[in-house]
Amino acid sequence: MATEEIPMDKWKNIDWKKIEKNVFKLQRRIYRASNRGDQKTVYRLQKLLTKSRSAKLLAVRRVTQDNQGKKTAGIDGIKSLTPSQRYTLASNLKIGRRASPVRRVWIPKPGTSEKRGLGIPTMYDRALQTLIKSTLEPEWEARFENNSYGFRPARSCHDAIEAIFNAIKQKAKWVLDADIAKCFDRIDQKALLKKINTIPVIRRQIKAWLKAGMVDNGELYPTKEGVPQGGTVSPLLMNIALHGLETVIKTRSQYNGRMKVNSPIVVRYADDLVILHEEKKVIEQCQSITSEWLKEMGLELKPSKTKIVHTLKKSEAGVGFDFLGFSIRQYRVGKTKSGKTSHGKLLGFKTFIKPSKQAIKNHTQRLKEEVCKQKAGKQEELIKILNPIIVGWCNFYSTVVSKKIFGKIGTNLFATLLAWATRRHPKKSKTWIAKKYWRIIKGKGWIFQPTDNDRRLTKHVETPIKRHQKVQGHRSPYDGDWVYWSKRLGCYPRIPKRVARLLKEQKGKCRECGLFFTEADLIEIDHIFPKEIGGLDI
């Protein structure tokens, strides 16, 4: 870095809205060029974006300010930067420099005794990876398959769950529930670089990161295979490595080698995937196709986490399956509760997606642990700790059949809190304890709340259940349909947030003529939100 002092106000006075718009415009052009197969234009625009001052400033901001893992240091020991240092870093950011080794950090895997290794790059490499990601992501967003959801912009695990629900809601199916063994650590680097097929300067930089090595307990280890998990660009590289699996499965799958059948449905979230079809033989064939295809990238399925089950019937591996913390299964029901086909025919079963047993167990255990830590703490502090945990978990499972489970967890938590309060006052009656720590609010029942404070414990059952709307097919935030994404996300880089909010409320409908509109219509019709939009550059 340069040693000259940069005024602090120079970073603070940057017009970030303009910066985001400039970067997004270039990314949108890359997406469109990739979508129409114009690779020459893609390469030209990618070179332009890597040299863009706006892209460099935005990359540094996301690494040093917006990213939650910004305080984790690499081998350089840098955890935070001052505004003047951020500006200097953005000015010195250049592709083609030698990459530094990553620092190995071991974190526990949720629900298991195993540990996952993360590679933490230096602050400079993190900013450079973010710049490379902003360049490659629009190109590959135009190519990625419809049912790929993990580590992609504006796509979540709820979209993957909704895709599974849409696949089985009308018909019970066999499922290949598969997991790729140590996906990040075993990717063939040569095959990955060949598949990326980008401009030489970016290819050399990615290769430098892959070959940089890893420092664990002061010792340097070479990285001959795999992608260091923990960098900004590594999730994108993993998605590129697994791109094409869905297409291969759909094109190669046959029944008895002669009769073509309905294509199996493949839903992938990062390295977890499920394949669904009504015929078991097709699923078995898909398993062999998947294993064969993965060998090309140096990968294989994990036998202990790969199984074939049925969503309705009993099989050797049981009934139903767990995916991304959700339990997916179908139950036989009577005609009054049975689901129906689009023609009104009774199915004889009902599809239920609920929080998995392991997820419920982990959440209940965490609540108990937090309560135990506050044995001598104040009630207000305990509420302050528990509320974010309860709200976050309930919001995650608020899109599926969770109301009864919320009630059961709430009952268990009440018993835990009652034990916590009784331990503090062993000589007092339960009635006295209840009056001290709980309030009765009309319409809400017993509320865990102190007498001298308005802070109260949020109940699990207070979270409303609302079905998640799956992202449409091949949609991407880079496609330019800002009406769709403003309604879906509540914001969009090219329009003010207040306009996005109005679009979301009015659902893309003109308040004067009553007609629905799109971006193309907005260019010609100037009476849609005339005051709010003003001279907005579309």
**What letter does residue 60 receive in the DSSP assignment?**
H
Kindly state the greatest CA–CA separation across the chain.
80
- Calculate ∠ Cα 294-311-350, nearest 5°: 145
Dist CA 91 CA 413 (whole Å): 53
Nearest Cα neighbor of 178 from 318, 298, 316, 287 is 287
Nearest Cα neighbor of 121 from 2, 228, 236, 1 is 228
Nearest Cα neighbor of 3 from 98, 92, 99 is 92
**C-beta separation of 84 from 11 below 8 A:** yes
Dist CA 106 CA 217 (whole Å): 11
Question: Six-digit token pair at 121?
Answer: 């790059």
Dist CA 400 CA 381 (whole Å): 31
**pLDDT one-digit tens code per residue, 310-350:** 999 888 878 999 999 999 999 988 887 777 776 778 888 89
CA distances from 86 to 54, 60, 73, 259 (A): 13, 7, 16, 61
**What letter does residue 495 receive in the DSSP assignment?**
B
Q: Which residues contact 483 (CB under 8 A, 6 or more apart)?
A: 503, 508, 517, 518, 519, 522
Residues of the chain with pLDDT under 50: 1-4, 256-259, 506-507, 509-538
pLDDT for the residue numbered 6? 54
Unique residue bearing structure tokens 């398959």:
145
Dist CA 80 CA 211 (whole Å): 26
Q: Which residues contact 407 (CB under 8 A, 6 or more apart)?
A: 460, 461
Nearest Cα neighbor of 483 from 467, 500, 497 is 500
Question: Six-digit token pair at 192?
Answer: 């990955």
Unique residue bearing structure tokens 């529930």:
177
Phi, psi of 329 (to 5 degrees): -160, 155
Amino acid at 307: K
**Residue 157 parent element (H or E):** helix 157-168
Unique residue bearing structure tokens 């005051």:
531
Nearest Cα neighbor of 416 from 381, 454, 367, 450 is 367
**pLDDT one-digit tens code per residue, 159-174:** 999 999 999 988 899 9
Dist CA 65 CA 121 (whole Å): 16
> What's the start-to-end Cα distance of the chain, in Å?
38
**Alpha helices, DSSP H, located in 36-144:** 39-50, 53-61, 83-92, 123-141
**C-beta separation of 102 from 215 below 8 A:** yes
